[in-house]
C-alpha cells in the first residue's frame, strides 16, 4: 500500500513558491480569456457581484477543503481519499477529479495553443500592415480581417493541432522536471511577469478616450440585465468561480499534498483566491475600457480576445508592441494552468500505478494529447468539453465539502488548518458551517437548476 508523507517525496520549497504555483494554477485563460467574455455576455457588473459572492462563500471554503485533504494525506487526488478513508468509496471523488482533469486539459490546451498562433500573427499582421493597407482600414474592415482569420484558423486542423502539440510539449517538459525544480521554479518566474504585463495593458486601456463606459459596465451593477436568464447566469458565475480557482478537479488536493506542515493553509487559500480574483478584475480593466472606447460589443463571446482586441491594438500607437505583449501574457497564463492540471494526472499515475515521474508524464501527456486532437478536429466534442466545467467542477466540489465537513469533522480539520496548533483558527466554526451547510446546499441547488435548464433546452415540451 502506498504511504503518504515519505521523506523523499517532492514538495514546494517556500511560501512564495506555494502561492505562486497555486495562484498560477488558478490564474490562467480562465481569468484572461474566459472571464471577460462570460462577464460581457452576462450583464457586466451584476455578474461580477454574483461571482465575487461565490468566491467568498463557496470558492475559498472548497479550496481550503482541498488543501486539508491533500496535506493530510500527502498523496494524489485518489490516493488521498484512499488513505484517509480506507475501504470506503470516497476515492471515487478523486477519480472523478482525474477524469475531469483529462477533459478540461484537453480542450484548455487547444485554446492555449491559439495563443501561440496569435502571438506569431500579432507580429506578422502588424509587420506587413503597410503592404495590405492595414493602417488605412477602418475598425470594421480590420475586424473583418481578423474574424476571417479566426474562423479559418479555428475551423482548420493542422495549425491548431500543431500549436496544441507545442503547448503540450512545454507543459509536459515543466511537469517532468518535478514540483520544486519544475512547477515552482517556472511559476515564480512567470507569475510576476504576467502581473506586470497585465498592469501595463490596464494603464493603456483606461487612458483611452471613451474608456469610462467600460469602467461603468464593469463596476456599476445593473441587476435588470440578469432577469432574462437568471438560472443560466448564476450557474455560469458558479462554474466560472470553480473553473477560475481550479477547484473541484483535484488540482488543489494534489498541490496541497506538496505544502509543508509549517505553512498556514487558510492564509494560502485566501492569498490565492485574492490573487485569482484580482487578476480576473484587472483583466476586465484591460479589456472592457478599450472595448467600449472603440465601440465594440462586450458580449462578443469566446472570440472577444482573438478578434476584437487585435482591432484595438491596431488603433493604438505602437500596436505591434501591445498586441505582442498581450498574447505573450496569454501564453504565460495558459502554461501556468496547464502544468497544474497535468500534475493531477501525473501524480495519480506515478503514485497509484507506481510509475516513475518521467514515465507518468509521458503517458499523461500522450493520453491528453489524443483527447486534445479529437477536440481539435471535432467542434462538437470541443463544445461539450468546453461546457463541462460548469457541471463537473461544482459536482466534484459538492462531494469534497461533504467529505471534509462530515467525514473528517471538526477535530481533524482544526488540527490541519492550525498546523497542529501553530496557528490560531478562530474562523474554524465559520469554516465548518460553510462546508457543512452553505456550500453543499448552494452547489446542490444550483447544480439541480442547471441540469433542469439543460434538459428543458433539449426537451422544451417538458416545461
Q: What is the CATH number of the domain that holds 325?
A: 1.20.1740
Q: Read off the C-alpha cell for 327.
A: 498574447
> By C-alpha distance, which of 260, 246, 294 is closest to 104?
246
Q: Is the pLDDT of residue 130 over 60?
A: no
> By C-alpha distance, which of 70, 72, 61, 62 is closest to 419?
72
Q: Read off the C-alpha cell for 66.
A: 482541498
Number of domains observed in the structure of the chain: 1
- Lowest average pLDDT, out of 177-186, 325-334, 379-388, goes to 177-186
Average pLDDT, the chain: 82
Q: How far is CA 117 from CA 35, 160, 437, 439, in A?
A: 21, 8, 46, 40
Residue 3 lies in a domain: no
Residue 8 lies in a domain: no
Q: Which residues of 423-459 are buried (b: 16+ CB within 10 A; e: fewer)?
A: eebeeeeebbebbbeebbebbeebbeebeeebeeeee
Domain that includes residue 331, residue range: 15-462
- Predicted confidence (pLDDT) per residue in 3-23, tens digit: 344 445 555 555 555 555 555
Contact between residue 179 and residue 25 where contact means Cβ atoms under 8 Å apart: no
pLDDT band at residue 170, thresholds of 50, 70 and 90?
A: confident
Place of cell 485566501: 270
Residue 131 lies in a domain: yes
pLDDT band at residue 131, thresholds of 50, 70 and 90?
A: very low
Residue 394 lies in a domain: yes
pLDDT at residue number 212: 93
Residue 132 lies in a domain: yes
Q: Is the pLDDT of residue 45 over 70?
A: yes
Return the SS3 of 300. coil
208 CB neighbour count, 10 Å cutoff:
18
DSSP annotation string for 403-454: IIIIIIHHHHHHHHHTTTTTS--TTHHHHHHIIIIIHHHHHHHHHHHHHHHH
Residue 9 lies in a domain: no
The rounded distance, in Å, linking the Cα atoms of 225 and 44 is 8
The rounded distance, in Å, linking the Cα atoms of 324 and 67 is 36
Contact between residue 58 and residue 67 where contact means Cβ atoms under 8 Å apart: no
What CA dihedral angle connects 275, 279, 281 and 285, to 10 degrees?
Answer: 150
Contact between residue 258 and residue 10 where contact means Cβ atoms under 8 Å apart: yes
Q: What integer is the mean pLDDT of 61-82?
A: 93
What CA dihedral angle connects 216, 217, 223 and 227, to 10 degrees?
Answer: 160
pLDDT band at residue 62, thresholds of 50, 70 and 90?
A: very high
The rounded distance, in Å, linking the Cα atoms of 115 and 268 is 30
354 CB neighbour count, 10 Å cutoff:
10
pLDDT at residue number 5: 42
Which residues make Cβ contacts (< 8 Å) with residue 157, sequence separation at least 6? Answer: 376, 377
Residue 42 lies in a domain: yes
Residue 7 lies in a domain: no
Expressed in angstroms, the distance from the first to the final Cα of the chain is: 51
- Predicted confidence (pLDDT) per residue in 205-240, tens digit: 898 888 999 999 999 998 888 877 787 788 888 888
pLDDT at residue number 3: 38
Q: How far is CA 171 from CA 93, 114, 119, 175, 251, in A?
A: 25, 15, 18, 6, 15
- Predicted confidence (pLDDT) per residue in 245-282, tens digit: 888 888 889 888 888 888 899 998 998 888 888 888 88
Amino acid at each position: 500500500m502506498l504511504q503518504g508523507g515519505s521523506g523523499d517525496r517532492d514538495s514546494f520549497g517556500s511560501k512564495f513558491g506555494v502561492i505562486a504555483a497555486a495562484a498560477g494554477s488558478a490564474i490562467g485563460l480562465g481569468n484572461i480569456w474566459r472571464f471577460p467574455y462570460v462577464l460581457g455576455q452576462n450583464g457586466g457588473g451584476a455578474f461580477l457581484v454574483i461571482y465575487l459572492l461565490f468566491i467568498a462563500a463557496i470558492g475559498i471554503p472548497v479550496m481550503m477543503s482541498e488543501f486539508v485533504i491533500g496535506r493530510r494525506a500527502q498523496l494524489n487526488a485518489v490516493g488521498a481519499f484512499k488513505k484517509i478513508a480506507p475501504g470506503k468509496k470516497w476515492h471515487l471523488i478523486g477519480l472523478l477529479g482525474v477524469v475531469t482533469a483529462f477533459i478540461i486539459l484537453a480542450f484548455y490546451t487547444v485554446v492555449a495553443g491559439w495563443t501561440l498562433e496569435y502571438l506569431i500573427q500579432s507580429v506578422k499582421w502588424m509587420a506587413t500592415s503597410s503592404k495590405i493597407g492595414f493602417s488605412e482600414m477602418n475598425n470594421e474592415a480590420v475586424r473583418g480581417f481578423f474574424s476571417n482569420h479566426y474562423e479559418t484558423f479555428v475551423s482548420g486542423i493542422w495549425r491548431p493541432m500543431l500549436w496544441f502539440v507545442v503547448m503540450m510539449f512545454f507543459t509536459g517538459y515543466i511537469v517532468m522536471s518535478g514540483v520544486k525544480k519544475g512547477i515552482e521554479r517556472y511559476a515564480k518566474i512567470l507569475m510576476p511577469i504576467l502581473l506586470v504585463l497585465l498592469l501595463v495593458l490596464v494603464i493603456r486601456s483606461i487612458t483611452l478616450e471613451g474608456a469610462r463606459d467600460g469602467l461603468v459596465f464593469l463596476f456599476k451593477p445593473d441587476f435588470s440585465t440578469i432577469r432574462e436568464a437568471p438560472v443560466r447566469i448564476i450557474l455560469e458565475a458558479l462554474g466560472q468561480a470553480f473553473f477560475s480557482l481550479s477547484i473541484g478537479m483535484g488540482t488543489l488536493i494534489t498541490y496541497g499534498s506538496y505544502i509543508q506542515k509549517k505553512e498556514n493553509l487558510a492564509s494560502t487559500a485566501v492569498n490565492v483566491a485574492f490573487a485569482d480574483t484580482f487578476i480576473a478584475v484587472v483583466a476586465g480593466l484591460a479589456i472592457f475600457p478599450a472595448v467600449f472606447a472603440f465601440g465594440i460589443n462586450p458580449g462578443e463571446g469566446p472570440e472577444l480576445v482573438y478578434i476584437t482586441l487585435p482591432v484595438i491594438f491596431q488603433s493604438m500607437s505602437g500596436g505591434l508592441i501591445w498586441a505582442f505583449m498581450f498574447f505573450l501574457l496569454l501564453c504565460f497564463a495558459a502554461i501556468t494552468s496547464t502544468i497544474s492540471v497535468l500534475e493531477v494526472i501525473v501524480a495519480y499515475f506515478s503514485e497509484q500505478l507506481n510509475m516513475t515521474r518521467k514515465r507518468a508524464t509521458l503517458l499523461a501527456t500522450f493520453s491528453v494529447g489524443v483527447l486534445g486532437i479529437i477536440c481539435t478536429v471535432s467542434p462538437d466534442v470541443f463544445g461539450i468539453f468546453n461546457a463541462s466545467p460548469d457541471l463537473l467542477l461544482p459536482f466534484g466540489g459538492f462531494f469534497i465539502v461533504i467529505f471534509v465537513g462530515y467525514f473528517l469533522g471538526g477535530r481533524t480539520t482544526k488540527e490541519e488548518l492550525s498546523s497542529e496548533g501553530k496557528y490560531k483558527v478562530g474562523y474554524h466554526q465559520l469554516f465548518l458551517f460553510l462546508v457543512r451547510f452553505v456550500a453543499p446546499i448552494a452547489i446542490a441547488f444550483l447544480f439541480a437548476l442547471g441540469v433542469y435548464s439543460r434538459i428543458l433546452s433539449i426537451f422544451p415540451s417538458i416545461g
